[in-house]
């Protein structure tokens, strides 16, 4: 099972200008090696059979004949291979010479694509030899004894994906052929190029290709001429990229004099889902529904299993690395702060009320509240932090909660809930020694009632502390900590909350506040609703009960962003966490995730307002609208069958 992945390659072979026999031998070595690696499609540079820099030699009949003979040799080699090869060569057609790409598989030429845009400026003068594919009628050409479709609008269709081809300069046009091909159904675009090297061009080209891949919501495979081309006036350094919807999966080593081949798995299923979700794409595609396209069906071959992936699967998709993490934290904090500021001004609230537990989520909510009041020029004393010690509160979390509130200069209130809960247990006839869901949820609801009532006292707004991960799992007490007047953390997953608090801690000038925040970061995640052990340590650890948040956030990302089925999600998780969790552990928590995700939708259906900060959100008014009584049988059955 390949889970929607297509293994592709971009090769930069050795080349000798005008030596077609030598060039095809170099190409064939890459093709054979690609077959052994399970590659489905491999592409080569522009005019790779003849060499790009032949200049007026393109007008020599012997060169054209040698190129066709070399192509015939490759066709013969391909008869026993499944891999699809895309190579470049000059082809004479109806009195013109075309710069073409030939698509080959299992002894057949599937199609010929002529270059559309011929550069004829600065160091380029292709119009001296070639005719644009836009200036000739599309039809068929007799090549190597085969009648082959020739044209710009050819779509090669396999069982689960389609691809198209453009050549070098084509992608530099304001509306490239790849844009049209993508709107007509191409999931992957292959570009055969002879892009020369000049200072600054490399990064510009990479940006251009990345942007084009993003606009088309497509895979983009680029292979450029390398060492061996003529250096009479220009140098070809050899560039190759494999890009998936704007994400660079692989690139060749720059300025190498050795032949190269880069390989990566393209997640075509992900691209197709992205397009279905993006209604702008389908709306744009409607403009090209009447455009004629020639569909070439690719011979079905046995599905290649993918036991492992060469591409990196980030185990923490919500948490980027390096400078990107710094920018991500900065953006999220600004979004949360501006969202809360608008809510404060709109509601004419005089104060904010927050329950402070000494845990990560309430800490982040408090930090955002402080930043909000600073932004609005309001006094921090109008932020009321309430610590509500209960049966499970430990000295560590209590001390951190009190210290943080003091250090941030807000108003502190301590309202213990033990006696109120004991009275409540007596009122409803609950045995206080029975530490069940009633015992736990009564405490959560008591705390929420206190927050709401104090908010009424001070004309304030209750700031919610629950995060995106807790919403996904339903790890909140209905009408308890599930409820607030504005949930600032609603769009932030648990794995990112920790980084946000750490990031703010590092920016703190006050060493005591920084120390408190870092200790909160190191504290085990817990609702603290069950009494501590005899040493005063936390006994109720959330991740022991519902599973590791890093796994659940991984599941959540791919469920919300791409709607992957459980088998693919399991496959990806096993790749991402192979050195951390055993496969049976991943399966166990994947089952828990789906079970809770479906069961707990009723809590998300009436969740308070809160800002969306990233690509994933569970707001019933925005990104996620799901019936509270949807059936999970299909999802859970697939997990069980893994």
Please list the active-site residues: 46, 115, 168
* Cβ atoms of residues 293 and 153 within 8 Å: yes
Q: At what angle do helices 395-408 and 360-376 cross, to 10 degrees?
A: 10
Q: Report the C-alpha gap between 435 and 430 in whole angstroms.
A: 10
- Residue 602 tokens, joined: 């009723």
Torsion of CA 630, 634, 639, 642, to 10 degrees: -170
Provide the 3-class DSSP secondary structure of residue 342.
Answer: helix
DSSP label of 93: E
Q: Would you state the structure tokens that stand for residue 573, as one six-digit string?
A: 């998780």
**Phi and psi (nearest 5°) for 87?**
-125, 160
- What token pair was written down for 162? 């389609």
Instruction: For residue 122, give both structure tokens.
Output: 């600065």
What's the rounded Cα separation, in Å, for the pair 530 and 123? 75
Widest distance between CA atoms in the chain: 101
- Separation of alpha carbons 14 and 520, rounded Å: 58
Alpha helices (runs of H) in 84-200, residue ranges in sequence order:
177-183
| C-alpha span between 62 and 57 (Å, rounded) | 9
Q: How many CA atoms lie within 13 A of 126 on its CB side?
A: 24
């Amino acid at each position: 099972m390949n889970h929607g992945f297509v293994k592709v390659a971009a090769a930069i072979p050795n080349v000798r200008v005008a030596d077609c026999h030598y060039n095809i031998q170099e190409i064939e070595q890459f093709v054979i090696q690609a077959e052994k690696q399970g590659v489905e499609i491999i592409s080569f540079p522009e005019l790779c059979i003849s060499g790009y820099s032949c200049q007026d030699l393109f007008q020599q009949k012997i060169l054209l004949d040698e190129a066709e003979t070399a192509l015939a040799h490759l066709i013969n080699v391909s008869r026993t291979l499944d891999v699809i090869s895309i190579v470049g060569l000059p082809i004479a057609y109806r009195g013109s010479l075309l710069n073409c790409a030939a698509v080959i598989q299992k002894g057949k030429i599937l199609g010929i694509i002529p270059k559309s845009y011929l550069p004829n400026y600065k160091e380029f003068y292709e119009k001296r030899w070639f005719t644009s594919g836009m200036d000739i009628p599309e039809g068929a050409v007799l090549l190597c004894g085969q009648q082959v479709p020739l044209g710009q609008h050819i779509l090669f269709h396999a069982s689960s994906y389609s691809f198209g081809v453009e050549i070098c300069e084509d992608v530099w046009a304001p509306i490239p052929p790849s844009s049209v091909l993508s709107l007509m159904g191409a999931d992957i675009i292959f570009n055969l190029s002879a892009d020369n090297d000049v200072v600054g061009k490399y990064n510009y080209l990479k940006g251009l290709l990345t942007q084009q891949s993003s606009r088309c919501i497509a895979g983009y495979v680029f292979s450029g001429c390398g060492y061996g081309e003529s250096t009479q006036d220009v140098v070809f350094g050899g560039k190759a990229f494999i890009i998936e919807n704007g994400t660079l999966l692989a690139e060749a080593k720059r300025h190498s004099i050795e032949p190269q081949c880069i390989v990566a798995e393209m997640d075509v299923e992900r691209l197709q889902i992205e397009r279905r979700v993006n209604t702008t794409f389908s709306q744009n595609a409607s403009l090209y529904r009447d455009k004629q396209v020639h569909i070439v069906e690719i011979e079905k071959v046995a599905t290649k299993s993918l036991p492992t992936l060469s591409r990196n699967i980030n185990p923490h998709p919500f948490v980027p690395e390096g400078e990107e993490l710094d920018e991500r934290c900065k953006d999220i904090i600004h979004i949360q702060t501006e969202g809360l500021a608008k809510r404060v001004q709109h509601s004419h609230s005089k104060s904010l009320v927050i329950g402070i537990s000494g845990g990560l989520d309430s800490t982040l909510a408090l930090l955002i509240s402080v930043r909000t009041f600073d932004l609005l020029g309001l006094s921090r004393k109008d932020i009321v932090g309430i610590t509500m010690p209960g049966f499970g509160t430990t000295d560590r979390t209590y001390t951190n909660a009190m210290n943080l509130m003091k250090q941030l200069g807000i108003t502190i209130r301590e309202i213990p809930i033990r006696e109120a809960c004991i009275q409540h247990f007596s009122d409803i006839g609950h045995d206080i020694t029975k530490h069940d869901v009633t015992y736990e949820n009564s405490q959560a609801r008591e705390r929420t009632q206190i927050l709401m009532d104090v908010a009424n006292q001070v004309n304030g707004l209750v700031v919610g502390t629950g995060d995106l991960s807790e919403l996904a799992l339903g790890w909140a007490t209905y009408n308890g900590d599930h409820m607030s007047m504005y949930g600032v953390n609603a769009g932030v997953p648990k794995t990112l909350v920790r980084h946000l608090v750490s990031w703010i801690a590092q920016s703190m000038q006050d060493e005591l506040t920084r120390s408190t925040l870092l200790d909160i970061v190191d504290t085990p995640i817990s609702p603290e609703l069950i009494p501590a052990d005899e040493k005063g340590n936390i006994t109720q650890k959330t991740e022991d009960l519902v599973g590791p948040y890093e796994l659940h956030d991984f599941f959540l990302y791919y469920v919300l962003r791409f709607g992957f089925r459980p088998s693919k999600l399991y496959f990806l998780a096993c790749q991402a966490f192979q050195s951390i969790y055993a496969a049976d552990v991943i399966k166990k928590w994947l089952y828990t995730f789906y079970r809770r995700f479906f069961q707990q939708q009723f809590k998300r259906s009436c969740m308070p307002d809160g800002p969306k900060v990233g690509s994933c959100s569970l707001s019933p008014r925005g990104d996620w609208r799901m019936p509270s009584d949807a059936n999970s049988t299909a999802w859970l059955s697939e997990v069980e069958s893994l």
